[in-house]
C-alpha cells in the first residue's frame, strides 16, 4: 500500500533518526583531566619525588617507596613521623605488601629511613603503631634540608670534606651517587648504626606476621611411597592436589594408594578411580594398620620358629633331664623326634609331633638341663628300683597267682546267654523258659514254664 511508504506517510520528517552522541567520550575526557589535575604537588614535593624516583643507588622497588614517602611526609617537618597507613603507601608505590616491606628493608639498610621501635599502651598492654622517619641523609637527598643540623664545623680542612654537601637542583645522578657513597663513609666513620625494629609481629589488626615460620609450601619432591603414581600417568602437581583432596576427606593419600595399589594399577582410568576412592567412606588407614599388624605378627612368628629350629638343631643327639630327676629326654640325631622316659614307666615314649616349642620353652625356663653321665646312671638306678617296688606291691611275697580255669557251670551259663542273644537278634521270643540273672549274687534262676 502506498500509505505505508515513507515518502507518502512522511515519517522521516516527523521522527528523524537520532544523531550520534559524543557526550559520553567528552565526559570521560573531562573526568580524566580532572583526576589528573587534582594531584597538583608543590614544587618542593615534586622535586623530592622526582629525585627519589631517579636515585641510582637503590633498586626500583626502593625508589618507588622513597618517592611515596617524599609525597607523604610534611615538607616543613621532614623528620617528623609519617602518618600514613600501609595501604596508602603501597597504593602510591604500586607494590604488594611483602614487596613494600622488602623495599623498607632496602631503604633502612641504605640509611634513608628509620623505623622507631613500637610502643605499648600502658593500660591495655597492646602494641602501638610504629611510625617511619626520614633521616638526615634522605632529607638532604630529597632536597627538604639544605644543611645538616647535627654537624659541627671544624678548623681542619679534612672536616669540611666530611660534611654533607648541599645538593643543588641541577645535581646529576653521578653526583648523587658520589654523595651517597661519601655519606655512607661519614656515617661509618662517626659510628652511627641503624638498628633493626624490636619486633616483627604485633597484636591486633594493625600488623601482620611478616616472616611466618610455618608457611605452607609445596615440597620439592614427592614422597617415596607416591612416586609410583608417576608410572600410571599422574603428574607431580596432580599428586599434590590429590594429597590436598585426601586431607579434606580426612584421609592420607599414601594409605589409599597402599591399600588399593593392585586394583589401581590394573584400572583403565586410574585418576578417576583414585578420586572415587578418596570420596568413599572407607577407612583405608584401618586397613593399612591391620595389614601392618598382621605382617608384624607373621614376622614375629617366623623369627620365633627359626629360633626354635636353630635351638633344636643345636640339641640334636644330646640327652637332657628335668630338675626333679623324674624324666630323661633324648633328642634324636636328626632332630625330628624326641623320646621321654619317665621313671614310673617301663619304656620311654617317642614324640614326633609339635614337641619342639614346648621343649625349647622348658629349656629356656631352666626346667630341663643337659644331663651328665652321673645323672643318667642315677636315673637308671631310680627306674630299676621303682620297677622292683611295683612288682612287690602287685604280687605279695610267698603267694602265687592261682590259674584261671573254666568250669562246667560257667560253660552252661555262657551257652544259655548265647541262645538268648541269638533269639533276640532273630526276633524270636523264648516261651519255654525264662532265664533271669541275679546281678547281686551272680547266679541264674529258672522260672516255671
- For the chain, percent of residues with pLDDT exceeding 90: 23
3-state secondary structure of 446: strand
| Mean pLDDT score, 289-317 | 90
CA angle 258, 263, 264 (to 5 degrees): 70
| Mean pLDDT score, 174-178 | 50
Q: CA torsion 348→352→353→355, rounded to 10°?
A: 60
Alpha carbon distance 230, 360 (integer Å): 50
pLDDT at res. 96 = 92
pLDDT at res. 366 = 86
Pairing of strands 319-322, 368-370: antiparallel
pLDDT exceeds cutoff 60 at 376? yes
| Mean pLDDT score, 4-17 | 54
* pLDDT tens sequence across 207-244: 455 555 665 665 578 888 899 999 998 998 899 999 99
> Which residues are bridge partners to 342 per DSSP?
327
pLDDT exceeds cutoff 80 at 6? no
Alpha carbon distance 362, 312 (integer Å): 12
| Mean pLDDT score, 49-72 | 92
pLDDT at res. 16 = 60
CATH of 43-151+159-190, one of 2.30.42, 1.20.1270, 1.10.533, 1.10.10: 1.10.10
* pLDDT tens sequence across 260-272: 999 999 999 999 9
pLDDT at res. 449 = 35
Alpha carbon distance 135, 144 (integer Å): 11
Residues 6+ positions from 45 with CB-CB distance below 8 Å: 70, 71, 75
**CB-CB neighbours of 184 under 10 Å:** 14
pLDDT exceeds cutoff 70 at 17? no
Question: Domain locations in the chain?
Answer: 43-151+159-190, 225-289, 315-394, 412-446
pLDDT exceeds cutoff 90 at 353? no
What pTM, to 2 d.p., does this model score?
A: 0.36
| Mean pLDDT score, 18-27 | 63
| Mean pLDDT score, 407-428 | 85
Place of cell 672536616: 159
Cα separation values, 207 from 87, 101, 168, 174, 304, Å: 12, 12, 39, 38, 63
Q: What is the DSSP letter of 143?
A: T
Place of cell 580426612: 250
Q: 195 falls in which pLDDT band (50, 70, 90)?
A: low
pLDDT at res. 20 = 62
3-state secondary structure of 120: strand
Place of cell 622507631: 116
Detail the DSSP E strand segments found in 262-324.
Answer: 319-322
pLDDT at res. 407 = 81
Residues 6+ positions from 92 with CB-CB distance below 8 Å: 67, 68, 71, 72
> Which residues are bridge partners to 435 per DSSP?
446
pLDDT at res. 158 = 40
Amino acid at each position: 500500500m502506498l500509505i505505508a511508504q515513507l515518502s507518502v506517510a512522511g515519517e522521516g520528517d516527523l521522527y528523524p533518526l537520532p544523531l550520534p552522541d559524543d557526550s559520553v567520550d567528552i565526559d570521560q575526557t573531562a573526568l580524566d583531566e580532572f583526576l589528573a589535575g587534582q594531584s597538583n604537588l608543590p614544587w618542593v614535593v615534586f622535586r623530592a619525588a622526582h629525585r627519589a624516583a631517579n636515585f641510582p643507588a637503590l633498586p626500583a622497588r626502593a625508589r618507588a617507596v622513597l618517592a611515596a614517602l617524599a609525597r607523604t611526609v610534611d615538607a616543613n617537618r621532614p623528620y617528623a613521623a609519617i602518618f600514613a597507613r600501609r595501604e596508602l603507601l603501597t597504593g602510591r608505590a604500586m607494590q604488594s605488601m611483602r614487596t613494600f616491606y622488602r623495599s623498607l628493608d632496602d631503604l633502612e639498610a641504605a640509611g634513608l629511613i628509620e623505623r622507631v621501635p613500637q610502643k605499648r599502651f600502658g593500660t591495655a598492654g597492646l602494641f602501638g603503631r610504629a611510625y617511619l622517619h626520614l633521616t638526615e641523609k634522605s632529607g638532604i637527598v630529597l632536597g627538604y634540608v639544605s644543611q645538616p643540623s647535627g654537624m659541627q664545623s671544624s678548623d681542619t680542612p679534612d672536616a669540611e670534606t666530611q660534611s654533607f654537601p648541599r645538593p643543588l637542583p641541577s645535581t646529576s645522578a653521578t653526583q648523587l651517587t658520589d654523595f651517597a657513597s661519601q655519606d655512607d663513609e661519614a656515617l661509618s666513620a662517626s659510628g652511627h648504626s641503624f638498628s633493626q625494629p624490636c619486633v616483627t609481629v604485633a597484636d591486633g589488626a594493625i600488623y601482620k606476621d611478616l616472616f611466618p615460620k610455618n608457611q605452607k609450601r609445596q615440597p620439592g619432591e614427592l614422597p617415596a611411597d607416591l612416586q609410583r603414581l608417576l608410572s600410571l600417568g599422574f603428574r607431580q602437581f596432580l599428586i599434590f592436589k590429590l594429597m590436598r583432596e585426601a586431607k579434606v576427606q580426612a584421609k592420607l593419600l599414601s594409605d589409599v594408594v597402599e591399600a588399593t595399589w593392585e586394583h589401581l594399577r590394573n584400572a583403565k582410568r586410574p585418576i578417576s578411580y583414585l578420586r572415587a576412592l578418596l570420596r568413599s567412606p572407607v577407612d583405608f588407614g584401618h586397613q593399612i594398620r591391620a595389614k601392618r599388624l598382621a605382617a608384624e605378627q607373621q614376622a614375629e612368628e617366623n623369627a620365633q620358629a627359626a629360633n626354635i629350629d636353630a635351638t633344636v638343631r643345636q640339641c640334636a643327639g644330646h640327652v637332657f633331664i628335668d630338675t626333679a630327676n623324674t624324666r630323661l629326654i633324648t633328642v634324636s640325631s636328626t632332630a625330628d623326634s624326641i623320646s621321654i622316659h619317665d621313671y614310673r614307666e617301663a619304656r620311654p615314649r617317642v614324640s614326633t609331633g609339635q614337641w619342639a616349642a614346648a621343649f625349647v620353652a622348658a629349656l629356656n625356663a631352666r626346667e630341663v638341663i643337659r644331663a651328665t653321665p652321673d645323672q643318667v646312671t642315677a636315673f637308671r638306678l631310680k627306674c630299676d628300683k621303682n620297677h622292683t617296688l611295683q612288682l612287690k606291691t602287685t604280687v605279695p611275697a610267698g603267694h602265687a597267682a592261682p590259674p584261671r580255669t573254666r568250669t562246667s557251670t560257667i560253660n552252661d551259663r555262657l551257652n544259655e546267654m548265647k541262645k538268648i542273644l541269638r533269639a533276640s537278634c532273630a526276633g524270636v521270643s523264648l516261651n519255654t523258659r525264662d532265664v533271669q540273672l541275679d546281678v547281686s549274687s551272680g547266679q541264674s534262676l529258672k522260672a516255671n514254664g
